[in-house]
Structure 1
Amino acid sequence: MPPAGPAAAAEPGALVTTPGRTLSCYVHVPFCAARCGYCDFNTYTPAQLPGMSTGDYARAARREIDLAARALAGDGRALTSVFLGGGTPTMATDDELAGLLEHLHRSFALVPGAEITIEANPETLDERRLANLRAAGFNRLSLGMQSGDERVLATLERRHRPGRAVQAARWAHRAGFDNVSLDLIYGAPGETLDQWRVSLETALGAEPEHVSAYGLIVEPGTAMARRIARSELPEPDEDLEADEYLLAEELLGSAGLSNYEISNWARPGREAVHNLAYWRGGDWWGIGPGAHSHLGSARWWNVKHPRRYATMLAAGASPRAGHEILDARTRHEETVMLRLRLREGLDVAELSGPERSPLPGLVERGLVTTAGGEVRLTPAGRLLGDAVTLEILG
């Protein structure tokens, strides 16, 4: 029997919602043509899902959208953002993607001008597809460029060439996407600072409205971790990664993109509405295998395997795998951790006396500022964001 209370997401009316918070929807599309060596996301290649098509997944996702709409009946909030991520959502057909978005529109109200993002890999796009996606209602594209250097792309086991990402961004602009984001990865094994500079300059040549730059994390159990263990690839260089991050801050800032979250830069007004909802503690419902949902103090997550996910929904069951209710202390710690990632920072008044005591030392070490009563990380502090958070929380 599913547990009662806020986490009983399959039961209409069982959720304790928070009308003062924004409401967003994330849709996880778990398909990829191939698995990159560094990836530990919940994704599957066609060979790993014999007999299951993207159409089968789309039907299951529509069933979960129906479940979410019933559970949130009477909530009264419109969606401020929708994000189709993965995986590679563009492994699905244009009609399947348009159908998912149409089903969301029928099931939920959306605020006027809601941000509707789709993630894509450059090799899955052409001018026609981008025109179709824009016509379907997607207005923001998050493009997995990762690097502008062919050797680094090979190390990451990406399937596209640098020029294809730039071309896809230009096609997207021509198709009417007014917010194109490029995802980059720095710190790939063997990458040099000059190669990273080329990546940044190549990305800027596409005139994106938004850039995300993430330091590579070599996750245990990935193909890349095994290659490093066999000395086929060098260990990541943390000092070089710090230099790469600061170079990103310099070049992106000079090009008019301001850092608004540790790993994200945007032109004014082009910050990611959906991701800001995460960092500001908004509510969201996650659709799809392994997707997580946050509403108020409730957290729950779906079963990970797409086939089991689809089978449960076809039987009329919730695909939820587990849940938790956060206590006040845990929610406070979560708020501090997330808000410190943002340029807007955290109000000093939200910290307890013991939590404020490290601030003078952190200011003296050049890691935070407290001007205007807001705790904000400096560029140097962003490099040590987790450590700064732990020091404040004690």
Structure 2
Amino acid sequence: MASLPEGDIPPTDGLLPEQAREGAAAKDFGVYIHVPFCTVRCGYCDFNTYTPGELPEVSPEDYPERVFQELDFAAGVLDASGVPKREVQTVFIGGGTPTLLAPSRLGQMLRRVDTLWGMSPRAEVTVEANPDTLDAQRLVELAAQGVTRVSVGVQSFVPHVLSTLDRTHNPGSVPDVIRAASDAGLQVSLDLIYGTPGESSADWQESLDRALELEPDHISAYSLIVEPGTALARRIRRGELEAIDEDTQASFYEQADETFRDAGYEWYEVSNWSHTSEGLSRHNLSYWLGSDWWGIGPGAHSHIGGVRWWNVKHPRAYADRVKAGHSPALGREVLDEHTRWVEMVMLGLRTRQGLAIDSLTDHYPPAGAILHEALDAGWLQPEAFTAGRVELSLKGRLLADGLSARLTGG
């Protein structure tokens, strides 16, 4: 699993510095809840997840109690730190596979959030799920518990691609799941992965076409990253599989964007497309726009007013800390003004709304020449540039990270 970043040792009481209060009232506040359980570990996965056999001392049945304890702790810390109380605009329950827990238990988590902070009447509440953990009854129960959106990890509709990824669901069952979710009144997001070893352009097109046939509200398409230490990385190192090169990955991205655009989906972040403005993921957008959120659970990250921290990764260590009433945070960073600006550029550049040119050149004057070079190279949308805004073109989206590094002096 990916290692956590280095940082300062946070106080056991979790109290936040004065910086966390500045401008908080004007920012949206969200909650992320991590559920670290999966029935099997996918060969490509580098997330902080565990099968029940790996955690005999931490059970899915007991885990919600730990969530309640950190939620209560979070509310106390924010209040004691003088951070103004705000209604929760978005909740995202991710993992892992949150739908391994009963809908009633997920509902209890949501009610605790509502009790502590209040949920906005138009709050977006998303639950991640694998297709084989959903059926019509469970989807109805999720909606009854206050869930408004399911994010379904389909990854591919092609059996040999799913096999390489160690995904266990039957792609033929996905249409029934998506129809049942819509019938339950839930918004639907589909997650796809491209660039799996052995995946052809025709395979990828089949996944794109079959996903669009289901008319989801939202689609995410992520390039497969072969993370060190995963089973997939070991298979590639042994020569059993051949990783797909960057040029092919880029062509797959262009193929996806063209297919989505032809079907009426518009990109709003480099890896995300929605059918309407109501279909975009407000929770994920809050990350890219620098809003505040508290991350609950082992390995979860939080951000309040330029203060960022991350919890211990192992569920047993996490449980021990929250049961003792201590902060589960392992490390913390208090970001200075320049670092916050760099992150604003890196994240904002990835969104469709982009950045104001003045916000770049005022802070880093060489950015003006760099932007004109990018415009001449076809990386930026000319109409937006004329209007004083930086918006990436299709070509620019493929080069977003490199461009943001140049624009911030990296």
TM-score (norm. length: structure 1): 0.96
Task: For 1:87 and 1:265, locate their aligned partners in 2 and report how far apart those are by CA, in whole Å.
Answer: 23
Q: CA deviation at 1:55?
A: 2.2
Displaced runs of 4+ in structure 1, greater than 6 A?
Answer: 12-15
What is the CA distance between 1:378 and its match in structure 2?
0.5
Q: Which residue of 2 aligns with 1:174?
A: 183
Deviating more after overlay: 350-359 vs 331-340: 350-359
Q: Which residue of 2 aligns with 1:357?
A: 369
Q: Deviations over 1:90-142 (max 9, x none)?
A: 11122211111111111111222110000000001111100000000000110
How many Å separate the matches in 2 of 1:106 and 1:71? 16
Secondary structure at 1:231's aligned position in 2? coil
- Give the aligned partner of residue 345 of structure 2: 336
Change (3 A) 1:330 1:171: same
CA contact (8 A) 2:29 2:292 kept: yes
Match of 2:151 in 1: 142
| Aligned-pair CA distance for 1:10 | 2.8
Residue of structure 2 equivalent to 1:55? 61
Q: Which residue number corresponds to residue 242 of structure 2?
A: 234
- Aligned position for 2:220: 212
The corresponding residue for 1:371 is 386
1:68–1:285: 8 Å Cα contact kept in structure 2? yes
Query: Are positions 1:16 and 2:28 aligned together?
Result: no
- Map of 1:115 onto structure 2: 124
Name the residue aligned to 1:202. 210
- Residues 206 and 252 of structure 1: is their aligned pair in 2 closer, same or farther, counting only changes over 3 Å? same
State how 1:43-122 maps to structure 2 within 5 Å: 43-73=49-79, 75-122=84-131
1:300 partner SS: strand
TM-score under structure 2 length normalisation: 0.92
Q: Is the Cα–Cα contact under 8 Å of residues 35 and 93 in structure 2 kept in the other structure?
A: yes
Q: Secondary structure at the match of 2:25?
A: coil
The residue identity in structure 2 corresponding to 1:182 is: L
- How far did residue 4 of structure 1 move? 10
Q: Deviations over 1:150-176 (max 9, x none)?
A: 110001110102122222111100111
**Alignment pair present for 1:392 and 2:402:** no
Please say if residues 14 and 71 of structure 1, whose CA atoms lie closer than 8 Å, have aligned partners that are also in contact: no
Q: Which moved more, 1:15-24 or 1:120-129?
A: 15-24
Aligned partners of 1:246 and 1:13: how far apart in 2?
44
Distance in 2 of aligned mates of 1:228 and 1:68: 42
Identity %: 47
Task: Name the SS of the counterpart of 2:391 in structure 1.
Answer: strand
User: How far apart in 1 are the matches of 2:227 and 2:342?
Assistant: 25
Unaligned residue ranges in structure 2 (runs of 5+) = 1-7
Which residue number corresponds to residue 34 of structure 1? 40
User: Is the partner of 1:58 in helix, strand or coil?
Assistant: helix
Confirm or deny: 8 A CA contact 2:19 2:306 kept in the other structure: no
Evaluate the alpha carbon distance shift between residue 197 and residue 163 of structure 1 in structure 2; reply closer, same or farther with a 3 A threshold.
Answer: same
Query: Shift of residue 322 of structure 1?
Result: 1.0
Alpha-carbon distance in structure 1 between the residues aligned to 2:77 and 2:256: 43
Distance in 1, Cα, partners of 2:375 & 2:369:
11
Match in the other structure for 1:275: 284
The answer as to whether partners of 1:303 and 1:321 remain within 8 angstroms in 2 is yes
Instruction: Give the match's secondary structure for 2:295.
Output: strand
Q: Are the aligned partners of 1:153 and 1:161 in contact in 2 as well (CA < 8 Å)?
A: no
1:197 and 1:237 map into 2 onto residues whose CA distance is 18
Summarize deviations over 1:47-91 as a string: whole Å, max 9, x none.
110132112211001000001111223613111100000011011
Worse-matched range after superposition: 74-83 or 305-314:
74-83
- Contact preservation (8 Å) 2:354, 2:391: yes
- Please tell me whether residue 286 in structure 1 is matched to residue 266 in structure 2: no
- Are the counterparts in 1 of residues 380 and 393 from structure 2 also a CA contact under 8 Å? yes
- Deviation, 1:12, is 8.4
| Distance (Å, rounded) in 2 between the aligned partners of 1:344 and 1:9 | 38
**Partners in 1 of 2:225 and 2:134 — Cα distance?**
27
Q: AA paired with 1:130?
A: L
> How many residues are treated as equivalent by the alignment?
390
Contact 1:118 1:138 in 2 (8 A): yes
Amino acid at match of 2:266: S
- State the partner residue of 2:4: none
Query: Which deviates more from structure 2 when the two are superposed, residues 334-343 or residues 367-376?
Result: 367-376
1:186–1:216 CA contact under 8 A, matched in 2: yes
The alignment partner of 1:118 has SS state of strand
Alpha-carbon separation, structure 2, partners of 1:4 and 1:141: 36
CA distance in 2, matches of 1:392, 1:16: 27
Deviations 1:26-67 (A, max 9, x none): 001111111111111100111110132112211001000001
Hey, what's the Cα distance between the residues in 2 that align with 1:359 and 1:12? 37
Task: Provide the secondary structure at the position in 1 that maps to 2:20.
Answer: coil
Contact 1:290/1:302, CA 8 A, preserved across alignment: yes
Which amino acid is the alignment partner of residue 216 of structure 1? L
Give 3-state SS (helix, strand or coil) of 1:114's partner.
strand
Matched, 1:382 2:359: no
Secondary structure of the residue aligned to 2:264 is coil
For residue 201 of structure 2, the aligned residue among 193, 212, 215 is 193
Distance 1:76 1:92 in 2: 29
User: Aligned partner of 2:236: which letter?
Assistant: I
C-alpha distance in 2, partners of 1:353/1:14? 31
Q: Distance in 2 between matches of 1:123 and 1:337?
A: 36
Check whether the contact 2:9–2:331 (CA below 8 A) recurs between aligned residues: no
